[in-house]
Amino acid sequence: MKETPWLDERELDAWLAYLTASHLLERRIEEQLKADSGLTHDQYEILVRLSSAPGRAMRMTELARMVVVSKSGLTYQVGGLEKKGLVERTSCPSDDRGVMAVLTDEGTRCLERTAPGHLAVVRAYLIDHCDPDELTTMTRIMRKAATAMGAFPPTSA
């Protein structure tokens, strides 16, 4: 078995900068979401994904794949959102075994109230510190990493 090489100084600097920034940004996002709506970042992402789905509904298995969480983890998060009246679960019309997560009207209103603060945090601590070329590069890098982990099919770009 081939031994994995250690990170050189430049690689280590990049890795540590990524770790620090990603942890700090996640913490800021969690703080904002908790203060504005009592939601976790995972719960907010579920609402966002459902809001852009046809009929504001999605099969739980597809939703779990999109938010990169286990089926049991999604069930837990959706359960919390159901208790708040933001999401409901229904049977899948095309498959009796399937379960749909559906964004409620209250969920839509919660998302509308919470989104401006969320966007302000994302802009203040990430987006507004990048020029257009850096954003393009960041997108390309993050998609490469996600593709390597199986999140996206490979592209020719």
Beta strands in the chain, from DSSP E residues, in sequence order: 57-59, 87-92, 95-103
- pLDDT at position 156 over 60: no
- pLDDT at position 36 over 60: yes
What is the number of structural domains in the chain?
Answer: 1
Asked whether residue 65 is domain-assigned, the answer is yes
What is the domain extent for residue 93? 23-148
The CATH number of residue 106's host domain is 1.10.10.10
Asked whether residue 54 is domain-assigned, the answer is yes
pLDDT band at 124 (very low <50, low <70, confident <90, very high): very high
Asked whether residue 133 is domain-assigned, the answer is yes
pLDDT band at 150 (very low <50, low <70, confident <90, very high): confident
pLDDT at residue 32, rounded to an integer:
97
pLDDT at residue 157, rounded to an integer:
47
Contact at 8 Å (CB) between 115 and 37? Answer: no
- CA pair distance 146, 155, nearest whole angstrom: 12
What's the predicted TM-score (pTM) here?
0.88
Instruction: Express each pLDDT in 2-31 by its tens digit.
Output: 899 999 999 999 999 999 999 999 999 999
- CA pair distance 123, 126, nearest whole angstrom: 5
pLDDT at residue 109, rounded to an integer:
98
For the segment 55-69, the average pLDDT, to the nearest whole number, is 94
